[in-house]
Amino acid sequence: MSRVLVVLETANGAVKSASLPGITCGQKIAAAAGGELHLLVLGADASAAEAARGFGAAAVHTLTAAELEPFTAEAWGDAIVHAARTLGATHVGGTATSTLRDALPRAAAVLDAPLASEVIAVKSANVFTRPISAGRALADVQLTGAVVFFTARGTEFPAPQTGGASPVQALAGTQLNTCGVTVVSVQKTESARPALTEASVVVSGGRGMREGANFKVLEELTDLLGGALGASRAATDAGMVPADLQVGQTGKIVAPDLYIAVAISGAIQHLAGMKGSKTIVAINKDEEAPIFQIADYGLVAKWEDTLPALVQLVRNHKGG
């Protein structure tokens, strides 16, 4: 029988919301293969396993080791290999987060297994749809092997079906190989705003903002709308804002209810990361900017002439 193993990310005793699309994708693969869904919780302790019991999996497996926290791709990759071999998994995957984008390919390489990345649809047990050419086309790929790997694009799968209470089973421990990697320190960016990939509203700025100080007006609009701040690669490469705000093919993939693109021309790399947004608003002084081709609402104007007025209108509407 096929066994689909989905790797979860957890924090503060709960499953991260970013992991939920991977569970949904795993459920679809298990249904197509006529197999079982299994979940894997990795970390220094197994406390978060209880939070993963309600997704209808045959079992929630835990593997605890000090080497798993803080995260290193080497330790996680080794743990995933151990779990896949121990459980006899036929499919291994999860959401295409920065963590699993790093760890899963390493595990696949050790097992000499194929991997389909950024899956957006499950056609059959081993046939998946994924974007190619920076999202300009879709391809159905068929994977063959004793075990196959996948990462699911988080914006393309809804919350997973729930039901039942899965048993929690601890996997026998193993000596994890960190390949000599040691984490010296971890620096986290604290923000009162929602995570970029989870926000219902995203306001992004591009190269046309010219300097980091000009992002202050975008921050005002973002906070009034209760959203998250984003940026194009050109803006992050220029040092205007931190790299973790980058939206695009090599940054964060987002699909909020509202995406406001300010002074962003709309290079294909950026469009690949946000064109799944439900409503797209573009403000750019260049009427030929590619962003207008996918925008639901477009304003040809300089941001300096429009953003302050827009911020004031929103503030007035909110009564502030």
The amino acid that residue 175 corresponds to is Q
In this prediction, residue 320 carries a pLDDT of 60
The amino acid that residue 113 corresponds to is A
The matching CATH number, chosen from 3.20.20.10, 1.10.3720.10, 3.40.50.1220, 3.40.50.1820, for 201-317 is 3.40.50.1220
Indicate the pTM of the whole model: 0.88
Confirm if 27 and 53 have CB atoms less than 8 A apart.
Answer: no
How far apart (Å, rounded) are the C-alpha atoms in residues 253 and 272?
8
How far apart (Å, rounded) are the C-alpha atoms in residues 275 and 224?
23
Confirm if 105 and 138 have CB atoms less than 8 A apart.
Answer: no
Is residue 26 exposed (0-12), middle (13-18) or buried (19+ Cβ within 10 Å)?
buried
CA distances from 233 to 13, 135, 238, 275, 301 (A): 34, 16, 8, 15, 22
The boundaries of every CATH 3.40.50.620 domain in the chain are 3-170
The top-level CATH class assigned to 3-170 is alpha beta
Give 10-residue mean pLDDT values along the chain (320 residues).
96 91 98 98 87 95 93 96 97 96 97 98 98 91 98 94 92 87 83 90 97 97 97 97 94 95 96 94 97 97 96 88
The boundaries of every CATH 3.40.50.1220 domain in the chain are 201-317
